[in-house]
């Protein structure tokens, strides 16, 4: 298996495992594909949803490509500023956030996408006249599972539809600099229809606001574009989706700019997780391949029952001998990376590659079982570079304090 012109097994040997390996060219290609699909029809800003992956080198690459940022916390905002993004290119969409966080974000000059009436009233006191848009609850949801659908009626996110007009009117009375309207239906949906349905709801509200004299600069359709994880799955036709959505917006509104916030689409297939086989077990009814990455490293299978394709990197093209569960070092039976996968005679020392690990992989990893966060490597044109060191045990306990009376 070769990634970015480098043998995966060599990367594992040189840098150690587990390790996330990102192909720079794929990242750039993904960004360009989505940007070009929409921008050929109307003025488009792609705000990368950095919650999917906040590695500074990856953020740098996307900054070079011209991306903006969708950030959900002051931590993400500061990380992106450190990576070189101007605050003007960042949009902050928090949910249930504190006054102090709102103040810190506003003080940096970052636009705030308001999630609730409560947030609006609080922000009016903290940062009067600030640049804002509003996240509405479109009543349309979509996603790869119930845990990631966000746009449905009654969701915890956004301004409920019946309150949208009064909220914008109130925002005007409060003196906010109102710029746009936003919705996000959910993450990982594979069908274009919900995106069109949501756009219709946004358009309806844009026009009702326009009738009241409230003109908007942009419509933000959020993120959520699904990608194939299984070998036979087809890609969503982003070109057609772009054509339909931009067509609706240009035909039925005066809004000039479209914003989108893809996370998964940009980073998902740019990255594989390499993990070394420590242990092989035949448990009778099941056979296990025990690796050094578990749900501390990649939580998606354990958390969402997500499918990630897996292969043995040093046995590419070899015939599969049996089916195995690929599991990790975490002391829970829910700790798995893949189930019932045909593999070619796995042995201790082999390198398992878990595909499509760039989105919500490292960014959701943890120290559970006191396992350090793992390394990240960037590959490009035959060169592999370390972009994150593995954490040390000292770093894992650096914020803990043992009271003097308990000291040894």
Decide: is 180 part of the binding site for ligand LLP (CB under 6 A): no
262 binds ligand LLP (CB under 6 A): yes
Q: Is 92 in the site for ligand LLP (CB under 6 A)?
A: no
Dig out the tokens for 118 from the structure. 């409560």
Given a contact cutoff of 8 angstroms between Cβ atoms, the answer to whether 325 and 342 are in contact is no
Positions in 281-300 near ligand LLP (CB under 6 A) = 300
Distance CA 395, CA 392 (A): 5
Binding ligand LLP by CB under 6 A: which of 68, 180, 188, 294? Answer: 188
- Indicate whether 187 belongs to the interface with ligand LLP (CB under 6 A): yes
Closest to 238 (Cα-Cα) out of 190, 181, 283? 190
Are 338 and 403 a contacting pair, CB within 8 Å? no
Under rule CB under 6 A, residue 93 binds ligand LLP: yes
Residue 184 in the binding site for ligand LLP (CB under 6 A): yes
Q: Is 331 one of the catalytic residues?
A: yes
- Provide the mask over 138-157, with x wherever binding to ligand LLP is found by CB under 6 A and - wherever it is not: ----------x-x-------
d(CA 297, CA 357) in angstroms, rounded, equals 10
CA distance 377 to 14: 11
Per-residue tokens: 158: 């956004």
Question: Does residue 346 touch ligand LLP according to CB under 6 A?
Answer: no
The residue within the footprint of ligand LLP, chosen from 62, 77, 97, 225 (CB under 6 A), is: 225
User: How long is the chain?
Assistant: 408
Number of chain positions touching ligand LLP (CB under 6 A) = 23
50, 80, 291, 331: the active-site residue:
331
Q: Cβ of residue 115: shortest distance to ligand LLP, in angstroms?
A: 9
Q: Per-residue x/- marks for ligand LLP, 43-82, CB under 6 A? A: ------x-xx-----------------x------------
360 touches ligand LLP by CB under 6 A: yes
Instruction: Tally helices (H) and strands (E) across the chain.
Output: 12, 19
The HSE-up count of residue 256 (CA atoms within 13 Å, CB side) is 3
Q: How far is the CB of 188 from ligand LLP (least distance, A)?
A: 5
CA-nearest of 271, 266, 263, 300 to 387 is: 271
Distance separating alpha carbons of residues 232 and 234, to the nearest angstrom: 6
Residues with active-site annotation: 331
Residues that bind ligand LLP (CB under 6 A): 49, 51-52, 70, 93, 148, 150, 184, 187-188, 222-225, 261-265, 300, 304, 359-360
């Amino acid at each position: 298996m070769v990634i970015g012109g480098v043998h995966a097994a060599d990367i594992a040997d040189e840098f150690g495992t587990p390790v996330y390996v990102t192909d720079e060219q794929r990242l750039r290609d993904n960004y360009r594909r989505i940007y070009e699909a929409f921008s050929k029809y109307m003025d488009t800003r792609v705000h990368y949803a950095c919650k999917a992956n906040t590695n500074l080198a990856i953020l740098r690459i996307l900054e070079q490509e011209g991306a903006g940022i969708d950030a959900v916390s002051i931590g993400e905002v500061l990380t992106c500023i450190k990576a070189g993004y101007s605050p003007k290119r960042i949009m902050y969409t928090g949910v249930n956030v504190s006054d102090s966080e709102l103040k810190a974000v506003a003080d940096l000059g970052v636009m705030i996408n308001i999630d609730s009436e409560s947030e609006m009233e609080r922000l009016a006191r903290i940062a009067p006249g600030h640049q804002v848009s509003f996240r509405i609850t479109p009543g349309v949801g979509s996603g790869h599972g119930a845990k990631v659908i966000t746009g449905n009626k009654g969701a915890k996110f956004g301004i409920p539809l019946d309150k949208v007009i009064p909220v914008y009117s109130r925002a005007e009375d409060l003196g906010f600099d109102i710029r746009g309207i936003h919705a996000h239906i959910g993450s990982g949906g594979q069908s274009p229809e919900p995106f069109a349905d949501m756009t219709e709801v946004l358009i309806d509200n844009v026009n009702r606001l326009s009738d009241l004299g409230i003109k908007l600069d942009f419509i933000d359709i959020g993120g959520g574009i699904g990608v194939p994880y299984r070998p036979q799955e087809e890609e969503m036709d982003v070109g057609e989706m772009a054509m339909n959505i931009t067509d609706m917006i240009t035909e039925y509104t005066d809004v000039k700019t479209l914003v989108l916030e893809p996370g998964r689409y940009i980073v998902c297939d740019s990255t594989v997780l390499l993990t070394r086989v420590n242990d092989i077990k035949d448990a009778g009814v099941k056979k296990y391949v025990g690796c050094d990455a578990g749900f501390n490293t990649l939580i998606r299978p354990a958390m969402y029952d997500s499918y990630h394709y897996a292969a043995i990197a040093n046995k590419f093209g070899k015939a599969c001998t049996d089916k195995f569960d690929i599991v990790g070092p975490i002391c829970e039976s829910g700790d798995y990376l893949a189930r019932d996968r045909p593999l070619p005679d796995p042995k201790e020392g082999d390198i398992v590659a878990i595909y499509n690990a760039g989105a919500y992989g490292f960014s959701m990893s943890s120290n559970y079982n006191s396992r350090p966060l793992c390394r990240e490597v960037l590959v490009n044109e035959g060169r592999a570079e370390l972009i994150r060191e593995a954490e040390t045990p000292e770093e894992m306990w650096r914020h803990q304090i043992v009271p003097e009376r308990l000291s040894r």
